[in-house]
């Protein structure tokens, strides 16, 4: 019991160390001395960075601040958001095989990104369109369920399937009509998920919102425990089921849609990280959610480091998370005989 409580702080420490180490990783070698001098210079004024050659400063600034830092932040934010959303959805729908895309958010966001790419050259338009359609897809799922089939969790899944199928079809139409020499490859690569195009400005705008969504999902752990008993029991235990469910869906949708805005579609993180965390510390969502956030961040950071370093060319992150995710998932299934 007490050992379990040590897992989140240990993961936080590991994440901090890995993030710092990731700043050193890459084609261009930065020495610890240079790093220290550079950070000191940034924090305390130029005079402090005594050991640093003035001509190197713009280069190091470019490598660390413009290239590596945004990727590290993006990997952590995306990993944490997907893992927390996945954990929340698995408890909410009482189904350990559910991932954040269940209600159509990833399908909608993908469609939005593709639509933005063929309509405009502006990156901002693409990002806004991604976010808008990610939210719209989930709203459609919720409304379809409300209007046609009632209001239970299982019916919501059906609404999500319908909404997801619609936006997947709409995405195919966009791809079909896109210019095959420029737009189609751009859309296709985007949907594979990659962090090679992130910029610090986008991250700094989205980070507070994503962190807020992660935080509010995390404090709903106790309520998710109650919800995972089933709707009727949750209501009989004193919970306002419909309201709590909508809050959780809203937060998870926001967090997931923003991961697509930053890095395209990155699969499997939201499915396997919750499982690995449950194997580590059990199903209590109060502890599981923060653990998922930290492990999700750590996992995607390490995978992105691998993407950057192992291959001479950059391979899309989404492909690697899937390739790593599948054997992990088989391992999880093997251990899941006692319950999740």
For another protein, the binding residues (CB under 8 A) are: 1, 91, 94-96, 219-223, 225-226, 228-230, 232-233, 235-240, 278, 282-284, 286, 338-340
Is the Cβ of residue 68 or residue 220 nearer to another protein in the bound state?
220
| CB closer to another protein, 78 vs 271 | 271
Taking the least distance from each CB to another protein, the nearer of 163 and 218 is 218
* Residue 246 in tokens: 């909508």
Is residue 230 classed exposed, middle or buried when 0-12, 13-18 and 19+ CB atoms within 10 A define those classes? Answer: middle
CA atoms within 13 A on the CB side of 30: 26
* Between 206 and 234, CB nearer to another protein: 234
Q: Which is nearer to another protein, 117 or 287 (CB)?
A: 287
Token pair, residue 299, equals 């996992």
Give CA torsion, residues 144, 150, 155, 157, to 10 deg: 40
User: Nearest CA to 127 among 118, 136, 117, 137?
Assistant: 117
First-residue to last-residue Cα distance in the chain = 18
Q: Output 117 or 252, the one with its CB closest to another protein.
A: 252
Taking CA atoms, 1 is separated from 70, 228, 281, 282, in Å, by 37, 21, 9, 10
Tell the smallest beta-carbon distance from residue 339 to another protein (Å).
Answer: 3
Min CB(226)–another protein separation in Å: 5
Which of 106, 113, 38, 40 has the alpha carbon at shortest distance from 68? 38
Least CB distance to another protein at residue 238 (A): 3
């Amino acid at each position: 019991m007490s050992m379990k409580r040590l897992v989140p702080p240990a993961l936080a420490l590991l994440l901090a160390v890995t993030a710092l180490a990731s700043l050193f990783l890459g084609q261009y070698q930065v020495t610890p001395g240079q790093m220290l001098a550079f950070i000191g210079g940034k924090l305390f004024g130029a005079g402090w960075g005594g050991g640093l050659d003035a001509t190197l400063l713009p280069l190091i600034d470019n490598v660390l601040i413009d290239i590596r830092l945004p990727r590290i932040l993006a990997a952590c934010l995306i990993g944490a958001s997907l893992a927390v959303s996945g954990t929340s959805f698995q408890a909410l729908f009482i189904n350990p095989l559910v991932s954040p895309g269940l209600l159509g958010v990833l399908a909608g966001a993908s469609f939005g990104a593709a639509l933005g790419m063929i309509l405009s050259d502006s990156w901002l338009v693409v990002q806004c369109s991604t976010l808008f359609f990610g939210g719209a897809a989930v709203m459609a799922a919720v409304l379809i369920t409300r209007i046609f089939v009632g209001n239970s969790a299982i019916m919501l899944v059906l609404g999500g399937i319908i909404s997801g199928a619609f936006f997947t079809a709409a995405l195919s139409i966009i791809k079909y009509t896109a210019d095959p020499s420029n737009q189609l490859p751009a859309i296709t690569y985007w949907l594979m998920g990659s962090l090679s195009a992130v910029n610090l400005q986008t991250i700094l705008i989205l980070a507070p919102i994503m962190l807020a969504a992660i935080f509010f999902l995390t404090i709903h752990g106790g309520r998710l425990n109650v919800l995972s008993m089933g709707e009727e029991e949750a209501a009989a235990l004193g919970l306002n089921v419909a309201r709590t469910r909508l809050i959780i869906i809203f937060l998870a949708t926001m967090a997931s849609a923003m991961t697509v805005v930053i890095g395209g579609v990155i699969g499997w993180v939201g499915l396997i990280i919750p499982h690995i965390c449950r194997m580590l510390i059990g199903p209590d969502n109060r502890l599981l959610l923060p653990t998922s956030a930290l492990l999700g961040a750590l996992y995607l950071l390490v995978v992105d480091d691998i993407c950057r370093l192992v291959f001479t060319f950059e391979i899309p992150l989404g492909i690697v998370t899937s390739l790593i995710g599948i054997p992990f998932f088989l391992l999880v299934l093997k251990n899941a005989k006692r319950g999740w």
